Chains A and B, each alone.
Chain A
Amino acid sequence: MKKRVVVTGYGMVSPIGLSAKESYKNAINGISGIDKITRFDASNFEVQIAAEVKGFEPEKYVEKKEVKKYDLFSLYALAAAQEAIEHSGLELEKYNLFRCGVSVGSGIGGLGTIEKYDHALLERGYKGVSPFFIPTAVINMAGGNIAIKYGFKGPNYATVTACASATHAIGFAARNIMYGDADVMVAGGCESTITPLAIAGFQNMKALSTRNDEPQKASRPFDKDRDGFIVGEGAGILILEEYEFAKRRNANIIAELVGFGMSDDGYHITAPDPEGKGAIFAMQMALNDAGLNPEDIDYINAHGTSTYFNDKIETLSIKSVFKDHAYKLAVSSTKSMTGHLLGAAGGVEAVFSVMTIENSIIPPTINLEHQDPECDLFYVPNKSIEKKVNAVMSNSFGFGGANAVLVFKKFNE
């Protein structure tokens, strides 16, 4: 018998808020977090817009003099983890910290730091490279820093599957608990790559929207006028606990993580399989793992990137898995507001999924003005809806064909 895994806390830093509550409030009100790039001078780039985190204060999470030793992706993870741990009410001093682990993924990690020290290397030779460069930039340092701050001594690793990184991180963290490796897992993802190198790279793949004059309208999943995704940044973290452990401490159980499915398209480095075979298989696996029928799912938080291929293939994959029920359930893309947080996307979207169960309000897909005829589901256009949500599926699909899907359910004893 598998151990049950419950969600007892969440935290978020996103382009639409510095906490989960603020971000969710803005999401259900259809607020876009996309604007002109301020992080660097992008005036000569084809893409001049991004979903930046605004007003973030690193000194709230690490000592002021230490800030320069952290890349932003790590700082966002620390901030979201702090909120999540506080939200869970875990009194860490009471527990065996060898039973508390961390699983935080990221797609690219400390790219800004890598760029900075590469410039320094070219200009000043090896003496320009700080001894802190490597431990600032490597991807598992987000989780490492969380463990160092709180003294967690259980499993700690980072999953790296591009835009599915955080979803894999949460899914595997749940399995750590099921298998008995840990009682508590801090799980999610983080990303901060609004840097010249990343924007140039994504831009030249023709993956990004160039709607520079209307940033708030640029992310328009399932709309026929969509022209690519918008790079976002931030972190989304869940606290997962073994059910009996959570019960013993009288934790506030927000939802249960019941299903995890994964696959690969085995098809192309960036393009999805044209028939959605990988996505379909991952969704089916997640449903099987959850022991649920397609009809049990009320809401799908879609990968919904606002690229032509993702939205079309995701739609046909959902139809293939859910059949008639595909037209009855609600599907929305919170990326229409947050932009695409890449390796953090699945973390932020897992938090939104859980909050949707908790609050019975489904966030909309904004900018859905002229629905693409090839995307013919109910995408909660432009306005959130109130609806009792018993079970949610959250999809994440990454470059390399990586697919990961989670299913959360309202908790019932």
Chain B
Amino acid sequence: MSSIADQVKEIIKEQLGVEEEEIKPEAKFIEDLGADSLDTVELVMAMEEKFGIEIPDSDAEKILTVQDAINYVESHINK
């Protein structure tokens, strides 16, 4: 079983169609990875489904980078 970080990166790769080497922890979805607002909604929905968590809009707005996403999943999974 791969780590949560790897699984999150895989979702990002799949959803945004970016190369693995672009998915650095500090990379911002919109500025660095070319996402638009609908891409980020879709990304959050994919994480919710993959990890069985609910991400309220107020939290989703704060998930701006790859590391934000990994941190969020790690701290909310299985709670």
Among the stretches B3-11, B24-32, B37-45, B66-74, the one at the interface with A is B37-45
A66 to B45, CA, bound (A): 18
Contact between chains at A127 and B17 (CB < 8 Å): no
Chain B 5-24, CB-CB to A under 8 Å as 1, else 0, gives 00000000000111000000
Q: Name the one of B17, B48, B49 contacting A65, with C-beta atoms under 8 angstroms.
A: B17
Taking the closest CB of chain B, its distance from the CB of A322, in whole angstroms, is 52
Give the contacts of A64-104 with B (CB-CB under 8 A).
64-66, 68
Given A131-B38, A132-B38, residue A64 in contact with residue B17 (CB < 8 A):
yes
Contact assessment for A131 and B49 in the assembled complex, using a CB-CB cutoff below 8 Å: no
A130 to B49, CA, bound (A): 12
| Nearest-neighbor residue (CB-CB) of B16 within chain A | A65
Residues in B whose Cβ lies below 8 Å from that of A63: 17
Q: Is the interface of B mostly helix, strand, loop or mixed?
A: helix
Please determine whether B18 and A127 come into contact, CB atoms closer than 8 angstroms: no
Q: Looking across the interface, which residue of chain B has its beta carbon closest to that of A134?
A: B38
Chain B proximity of A58: nearest CB distance (Å): 13
**A328: chain B residues within 8 A (beta carbon):** none
Known: A65-B18, A66-B17. A127 touches B38 (CB 8 A): no
User: Which chain B positions have C-beta within 8 A of A128?
Assistant: 49
Interface residue range, chain B: under 10
Q: Given known contacts A65-B16, A65-B17, is B45 in contact with A127 (CB within 8 Å)?
A: yes
Chain B residues positioned under 8 Å from A135 (CB to CB): 38
Within 8 A of A (CB), among B35-59: 38, 41-42, 45, 48-49
Nearest CB in chain B: distance from A110 CB, A: 16
Q: Whole-angstrom distance from the CB of A312 to the nearest CB of chain B?
A: 49
CB-defined contacts of A131 to chain B, threshold 8 Å: 38, 41-42, 45
What's the Cα separation between A103 and B45 when bound, in Å? Answer: 35
With A65-B17, A66-B17 in contact, do A132 and B49 touch (Cβ < 8 Å)? Answer: no
User: Which residues on B sit within 8 Å (CB–CB) of A387?
Assistant: none
Q: Which residues of A contact B38 (CB under 8 A)?
A: 131-132, 135
Residues of B within 8 A of A130 (CB): 42, 45
B-contact bits for A104-146, CB 8 A (1 contact / 0 none): 0000000000000000000010011011100100000000000
On whether the beta carbons of A124 and B49 are closer than 8 Å, the reply is yes
- Chain B interface residues (CB < 8 Å from chain A): 16-18, 38, 41-42, 45, 48-49
18 more CB-based (< 8 A) A-B contacts, given A127-B45, A127-B48, A130-B45: A63-B17, A64-B17, A65-B16, A65-B17, A65-B18, A66-B17, A68-B17, A124-B49, A127-B49, A128-B49, A130-B42, A131-B38, A131-B41, A131-B42, A131-B45, A132-B38, A132-B42, A135-B38
